[in-house]
């Protein structure tokens, strides 16, 4: 697949996301009934259901493809317009993309406030094959308002993970023991040949990694009660310089 061509200019790593103005069925409960979502999330994981919960504006939203599970847990069946809850939509953008990537074998690593997924196969090898360099994508979603309508964006950052031959994730001091720090920095495009610092690493990562990733996963379904398809624009938002 050819990489998306970009006109000359300065670009961010934010890609516009189109979501249809739909109303979907959800289950709602008061936050007083669920001051913490940990217990119900554990119950959902144990049930292996395709459902989720999210706290928002005094309510707990239960959503997904198997809403009947919430019926005997104090939830009420309602209909909600997606555009009225942009924070929830932003969350579902990441969740929908993550679901798609998992189906393709991506490995998820969750941190506070962000989600990272690594490709199933190593991007490169280093230290004469003793180390595997995995390419990952750090995903976040944002929204902003324009003419009283929410607009959505997907933020994609590149990240890397180094494993040894046994599949153990290595720290920087452990990588240094293989004398492969410079080699890995070149694989990650931080260094140019000759061990020179790459002044265009951000541009190269956008063109060589981020753009192909977005182009390959530009359509996916949100985890709603009905099929709602999100479409990611393959051209990132530009920086407009004005006076």
Give DSSP secondary structure letters for 168-198: -B--HHHHHTTT-HHHHHHHTTSEETTTEE-
221 close to 230: Cβ distance less than 8 angstroms: yes
Higher-pLDDT residue of 226, 243: 226
In the prediction, which pLDDT does 192 show? 84
In the prediction, which pLDDT does 84 show? 95
Residue-wise pLDDT tens digits, 96-132: 999 999 999 999 987 666 789 999 999 999 999 999 9
CA 179 to chain centre: 32
In the prediction, which pLDDT does 4 show? 64
Task: Tell me the average pLDDT of the chain.
Answer: 91
Answer positive or negative: Cα dihedral of 168, 174, 177, 183.
Answer: positive
Residue-wise pLDDT tens digits, 23-36: 999 999 999 999 89
Phi and psi, residue 86, nearest 5°:
-65, -30
Does pLDDT of 136 surpass 90?
yes
Does pLDDT of 212 surpass 90?
yes
In the prediction, which pLDDT does 211 show? 95
Q: What is the CB neighbour count within 10 angstroms for residue 21?
A: 10
Residue-wise pLDDT tens digits, 67-92: 999 998 989 999 999 999 999 999 99
What percentage of the chain exceeds 70 in pLDDT?
A: 95
Residue-wise pLDDT tens digits, 192-205: 887 788 888 998 99
């Amino acid at each position: 697949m050819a990489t998306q061509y970009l006109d000359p200019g300065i670009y961010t790593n934010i890609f516009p996301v189109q979501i249809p103005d739909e109303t979907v069925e959800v289950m709602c409960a008061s936050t007083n009934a669920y001051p913490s979502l940990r217990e119900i999330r554990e119950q959902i994981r144990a049930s292996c259901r395709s459902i989720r919960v999210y706290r928002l504006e005094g309510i707990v939203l239960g959503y997904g493809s198997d809403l009947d599970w919430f019926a005997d847990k104090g939830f009420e069946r309602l209909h909600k317009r997606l555009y009225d809850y942009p924070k929830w939509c932003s969350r579902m953008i990441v969740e929908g993309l993550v679901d798609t990537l998992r189906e393709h074998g991506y490995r998820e690593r969750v941190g506070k406030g962000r989600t990272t997924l690594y490709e199933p196969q190593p991007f490169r090898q280093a230290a004469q094959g003793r180390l595997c360099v995995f390419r990952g994508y750090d995903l976040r979603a944002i929204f902003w308002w324009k003419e009283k309508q929410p607009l959505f964006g997907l933020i994609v950052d590149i990240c890397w993970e180094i494993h040894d031959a046994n599949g153990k994730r290595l720290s920087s001091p452990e990588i240094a023991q293989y004398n492969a720090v410079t080699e890995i920095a070149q694989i990650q495009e931080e260094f140019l040949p000759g061990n020179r610092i790459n002044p265009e690493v951000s541009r190269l990562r956008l063109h060589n990694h981020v753009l192909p990733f977005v182009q390959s996963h530009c359509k996916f379904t949100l985890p709603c009660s009905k099929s709602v398809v999100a479409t990611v624009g393959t051209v990132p938002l530009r920086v407009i310089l004005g006076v």
